[in-house]
Structure 1
Amino acid sequence: MADVEHTPAPDEVLIRTLYSGISAGTELTAYRGSNPYMNKRWDDESRLFVDGDTSISYPVDGWGYEEVGEIALVGSEAVGVQVGDVVWGTWGHRSHTLKKASWASQRILDPAVDPRVGIFSQIGAIALNLVLDADIHIGETVAVFGLGVPGQLAAQLARLNGGRVIAVDNLPARRQLALDLGADIALDPADGGVAERIRDLTDGRGADVCLEVSGNYRALHEAVRAVAYSSRVCVAGFMQGDGVGLRLGEEFHHNRVALVCSQISGVAPATQHRWNYDRLARTAIQLAGAKRLHVTELITHTVPMSEAAEAFKMLDERPEEALQVVLSFEGEGA
């Protein structure tokens, strides 16, 4: 991640990173060593994890998928871009990246928008993909379990989609933020009986759909308990290890609950003729730029890249202190 000068090819641009966001979900699984890629190898052909090897090993080089930067150099044949354009995308926690001009020209951020909006392209796409998987209809009740960054975004998008949002999290500040950003009700799981309270709020029916974004098996089990008969729970949380706390012989079995994995490598089959990753990311940025999706309100810390180690430690050990942490490359020798 050293600051190295690059010369773009004729059809490339050099982007100098301004900000890079830390994913407190996926990236912390690598930080903690719980990510399955670090203990097994993902085989693309069979689409199975294979024992006896790894896909990722320490040191993890340049991970990060929440970047925004400024075009510093333009290749001689590059079109549609110019020096100074602010570009959003994914290129890891590094000071510079080389990209095709055709790629960069499709990701130019409105100069009137806070450049930090650009770090939310991937996480915004993940949240939007989750809401598309949930197939929310106007007037339906949507329960969101986990109010980290993707949960906060999913709660806002569910409301934009016509849903009545019940937000669930054990951290008071996250519950309050969800309410401030439009959630109708916020519940503390420490009070117990989340599923019972959701059923009380829905005339005994249960939520029309539950979104699990915490990555916690006990939260997933409560989401299964809280959803209406023959309805779906959409899971975007990155579950780790064995499913301790998930009892599939109970409400899941007796209420015909559908569990749907929402993962950014694909979209729901019913929408794949219209939606893909690029459209998801562009839509998230457009909504954020228009302030229909509130993203900068999720940023709790902006710290120099040189303090990245301390930032990861805080997210790992003191999650109540932070939500979205942003690494700044300004003044870092860029």
Structure 2
Amino acid sequence: MTEDCFEAVVPRAKEVTFRPFRIDDIDATEVVVETLFSGISKGTEIRRYLGLASELEWHDGLSVYLNSKSSNRWPIRNGYENVGRIVRCGSTVDPSLKGRLIWTPSNHSTHVVLKISDYEHGLIPAADDVGELENYTFVARTRIAMAGIHDAEILLGDVVGVVGFGAVGFLAAQLALLSGARKVYVLDTDPRPLQLASIIDVSAILVENKATAASIKETLGDILPDKIIECSGTSAGLNLAMRLVRSEGTIVTISTYSSPSANDLGVDLMGEWGRNRLTLKSSMSVNNRSHRRSPLWTRQRQEQVAIALIGQRDVIVHESMKRRYFFRELQTAYETLSKDGADSSALVVY
């Protein structure tokens, strides 16, 4: 049996091509997954498409970027939210898995070949409707938000702020409530996503051009955030978080930051950071970085919990986060999401 397949490839900045490939024989322990949906993230994925990710060579042994440019930066295979159906099983794989639905952190591709023992935890139940099935394209982002919540070490009764109310911020706000926060503020410079705040019972704060941390704090009074989850991926968002959090509070970043632009003032460590004795944590949970509670919280366990949270509707995904594009429209989706004021995520239909 041979499948005719295609995968999306970014050969250089701002360009998408579709590479054909064939699947003939598979290993006895492998399965073939036919993709139904894949998710697009406006954060890391769009930055990679635009060529804004670091150009420098990463040295795994030293855990440091070198001064030389990476020789294998291109091509890029984007995507890490794939929902599909198992259509073929290797000779030693349980044949009853054929036809099962599964989530994997795979790239945008019509078919995926994988070792089932590495991804069996991604099996998902049959959904009542297509909309519920589409929601599983947010498993990785739920896991990323959850890792940030764990790193924040939210205590029962804490006040939590979320800066950047895109898809990940929307998920992080819900998880903060589930973790015992008594109040959650969500902040964004765009009023449109803030319209979703009331759906999950959190308080929206529009950060307008003239808004300062001092004016926001005066409005909030004594109910200031003990912890802030920074989801904007901008130095302006991180600076606001450091100025807004309570003295001796904690800021956790769960975004990937781009190289500074010409008008980017950078991160200010000369003010509230030192005087208020703040704690700043990077919650990098990708790029082979382990959970801070590893080995108790393995990657597989985090993904299992994310699948359960979505399946049980303990966290919800709003319809506005699932603007749909066909697989061959991927470049159009990227171009649309790259624009200021665009949606925070999208969905690819195969």
TM-score normalised by the chain length of structure 1: 0.90
Kept in 2: contact 1:147–1:169 (CA 8 A): yes
Superimposed CA distance per residue, residues 85-119 of structure 1 (whole angstroms, 9 cap, x where no aligned partner): 01001110111111122234322111035221221
Superimposed CA distance per residue, residues 24-80 of structure 1 (whole angstroms, 9 cap, x where no aligned partner): 1111111221101xx1111100000112231643332x2211111110111121027
Q: Report the 3-state secondary structure (helix = DSSP H, G, I; strand = E; otherwise coil) of the residue aligned with 1:230.
A: coil
Quote how far apart the aligned CAs of 1:295 are: 2.0
Name the amino acid aligned to 2:86.
I
Q: Which residue of 2 aligns with 1:51?
A: 67
Structure 1: tracts of 5 or more residues without a match: 330-334
Q: Measure, in 1, the Cα distance between the counterparts of 2:277 and 2:174.
A: 28
Q: Measure, in 2, the Cα distance between the counterparts of 1:161 and 1:21.
A: 26
Superimposed CA distance per residue, residues 213-262 of structure 1 (whole angstroms, 9 cap, x where no aligned partner): 00110111110001111111111121122462422111111101111101
Q: Measure, in 2, the Cα distance between the counterparts of 1:194 and 1:174.
A: 20
Q: Measure, in 2, the Cα distance between the counterparts of 1:55 and 1:93.
A: 23
1:223 to 229, 241, 248: 241
Q: Measure, in 2, the Cα distance between the counterparts of 1:311 and 1:238.
A: 20
Name the amino acid aligned to 1:301.
R
Name the amino acid aligned to 1:151.
G
Compared with structure 1, are the counterparts of its residues 296 and 205 closer, same or farther at alpha carbon in structure 2 (3 Å cutoff)? closer
Kept in 2: contact 1:133–1:267 (CA 8 A): no
Structure 2: tracts of 5 or more residues without a match: 1-6, 8-19
Compared with structure 1, are the counterparts of its residues 6 and 90 closer, same or farther at alpha carbon in structure 2 (3 Å cutoff)? farther
1:280 to 302, 308, 317: 302
Q: Which residue of 2 aligns with 1:332?
A: none
Q: Measure, in 2, the Cα distance between the counterparts of 1:218 and 1:101.
A: 43
Quote how far apart the aligned CAs of 1:196 are: 3.1
1:30 to 48, 52, 61: 48
Whether 1:96 aligns to 2:114 is: no
Whether 1:123 aligns to 2:123 is: no
Q: Measure, in 1, the Cα distance between the counterparts of 2:95 and 2:224.
A: 50
What is the 5 A alignment of 1:192-211?
Answer: 192-193=210-211, 195-196=213-214, 198-200=216-218, 203-204=221-222, 206-211=224-229
What is the 5 A alignment of 1:61-210?
Answer: 62-79=77-94, 81-112=96-127, 114-163=132-181, 164-183=183-202, 185-190=203-208, 192-193=210-211, 195-196=213-214, 198-200=216-218, 203-204=221-222, 206-210=224-228
Whether 1:253 aligns to 2:253 is: no
- The farther-off stretch of 17-26 and 113-122 is 113-122
Q: Which residue of 1 aligns with 2:283?
A: 262
Kept in 1: contact 2:226–2:249 (CA 8 A): yes
Kept in 1: contact 2:228–2:241 (CA 8 A): yes
Whether 1:323 aligns to 2:338 is: no
Quote how far apart the aligned CAs of 1:82 are: 2.0
Name the amino acid aligned to 1:42.
W
Compared with structure 1, are the counterparts of its residues 223 and 174 closer, same or farther at alpha carbon in structure 2 (3 Å cutoff)? same
Kept in 2: contact 1:129–1:267 (CA 8 A): no
Kept in 2: contact 1:13–1:73 (CA 8 A): yes
TM-score normalised by the chain length of structure 2: 0.86
Q: Measure, in 2, the Cα distance between the counterparts of 1:205 and 1:291.
A: 29
Kept in 2: contact 1:3–1:96 (CA 8 A): no
Q: Measure, in 2, the Cα distance between the counterparts of 1:158 and 1:323.
A: 20
Once superposed, what is the RMSD of the aligned Cα atoms? Answer: 2.0
Aligned residue pairs total 323
Q: Report the 3-state secondary structure (helix = DSSP H, G, I; strand = E; otherwise coil) of the residue aligned with 2:186.
A: strand
Quote how far apart the aligned CAs of 1:201 are: 5.7
Identical aligned residues as a percent: 27
Name the amino acid aligned to 1:216.
T
